[in-house]
Structure 1
Amino acid sequence: MKRSVLIVAVALSSASACKAETGLASYYGGRGHAGEMTCAHRTRPMGSVVTVSHGGRSIRCRVNDRGPFVRGRVIDVSVSAARALGLIGKGIVRVSVE
């Protein structure tokens, strides 16, 4: 019984992790190593890799922190990820997260 409940829980968490979101993104100093593309997300598992898209650009970044804690934002990316997405100078942009 416990095993089947665990399998169902893992399957549901995997399905929700694959769901795409759209919303606002900002950038922060991050806790990763310099130049590493990392991000903060409220619910995605730590260590998982997400694809963030904006304005025809897409990057893959690793979730290594929780946040953002500002209403309406879905993700915070590191400075290096923000540069790759073209966020620097704009501050907050609408993105798609998969």
Structure 2
Amino acid sequence: MPEPRRPNCAAGVTVVALLLAVTLATGCGSSGRRAAVPTEGSSGAADPPKAPAITAGATPDTARALPAPSSSAAVTPNGPKTRRPIPPAHPVPAAFRPAPGAPSDAQVRNELAQLDAIQRQEHQRALSAAAASLAELLPWSQEPKSGTQVSVASVFRDYGLGLACGGVLGRDQLGVAHKTAPCGTLITLTYGGRSLTVPVIDRGPYVAGREWDLTGATADALAFPGLGQIQWSLAG
């Protein structure tokens, strides 16, 4: 009588081992390759890398090392302060417009220069006319010509003004003014032991009691105080 067939235990154990191995392999693979889940608000794709900011004057090599500037950089209180311009004392109104035909600044300066020249000429003419009138009343021929005379003198320092005998008065100019003496007449003046011979260059002084008017340089050379008696004589 044949023996009954026994179940093959070894084959069953092999099948169970294979199933267990497949199960373990499937679980490990799924846990190792888990896909990234996009968060809310993201597009799901990786953001491209930001390019480094390039500052003015930086080369391409150095620009890679420079960080991008922050848009929220705070201004420190110790930073440089802008200086406010000083307003003019007389600001020109925005609605101001020169009147039609008004002269320019250059034209005004030119007219003022012409007026100054006219005034100088009139001053010289007035002095010459006054000298001519006085010459008729008190001719130079009646003045004492010999010896040393004593008269009252003063000083004039009208530098830059015209002289009756020509030219303008300078600070270093030697000379005297007299009402009637011919221009160029040489007069020797003596004061305090000092003597100086100078020409007549102007008319004056037109003050009662005074006969001579010394220029500033003449008075300084003689140490003349400005008003007082002085000795004089014709030179030569």
Q: Given the two structures, how large is their TM-score scaled by the length of structure 1?
A: 0.72
Task: Write the mapping of 1:56-75 to structure 2, written as runs, cut at 5 A.
Answer: 56-75=193-212
Structure 1 contact 22–74 (Cα < 8 Å) conserved: no
State yes or no: 1:94 paired with 2:221. no
Structure 1 contact 25–95 (Cα < 8 Å) conserved: yes
1:80 to partner: Cα distance: 0.4
State yes or no: 1:18 paired with 2:145. yes
List alignment gaps of at least 5 residues for structure 1: 1-11
Q: Counterpart of 2:149 in structure 1: which amino acid?
A: E
Q: Counterpart of 2:228 in structure 1: which amino acid?
A: V
1:72 to partner: Cα distance: 1.1
Larger helix proportion, structure 1 or 2? 2
List alignment gaps of at least 5 residues for structure 2: 1-139, 159-167
- Answer with 1 or 2: which has the greater Rg: 2
Counterpart in the other structure of 2:156: 28
Relative distance call for 1:97 and 1:33 in structure 2 (3 A) is same
Structure 1 contact 27–78 (Cα < 8 Å) conserved: yes
Distance (Å, rounded) in 2 between the aligned partners of 1:51 and 1:32 = 20
Secondary structure of 2:217's match? helix
C-alpha deviations, 1:21-41, integer Å up to 9, x for none?
311111112543331211101
Distance (Å, rounded) in 2 between the aligned partners of 1:49 and 1:84 = 16
Secondary structure of 1:72's match? coil
Secondary structure of 1:83's match? helix
* Coordinate RMSD, CA, aligned: 2.2
1:91 to partner: Cα distance: 2.0
C-alpha deviations, 1:69-88, integer Å up to 9, x for none?
1111110010000001112x
Secondary structure of 1:59's match? strand
Secondary structure of 1:82's match? helix
State yes or no: 1:54 paired with 2:191. yes
Larger strand proportion, structure 1 or 2? 1
For residue 220 of structure 2, the aligned residue among 66, 83, 97 is 83
Q: Counterpart of 1:27 in structure 2: which amino acid?
A: V
Percent identity for Structure 1 against Structure 2: 31
Q: Given the two structures, how large is their TM-score scaled by the length of structure 2?
A: 0.32
Give the paired residue count: 84
Secondary structure of 1:80's match? helix
Distance (Å, rounded) in 2 between the aligned partners of 1:94 and 1:51 = 14
Structure 1 contact 32–64 (Cα < 8 Å) conserved: no
Q: Counterpart of 2:145 in structure 1: which amino acid?
A: C
Higher relative contact order (CA 8 A, sep 6+): 1
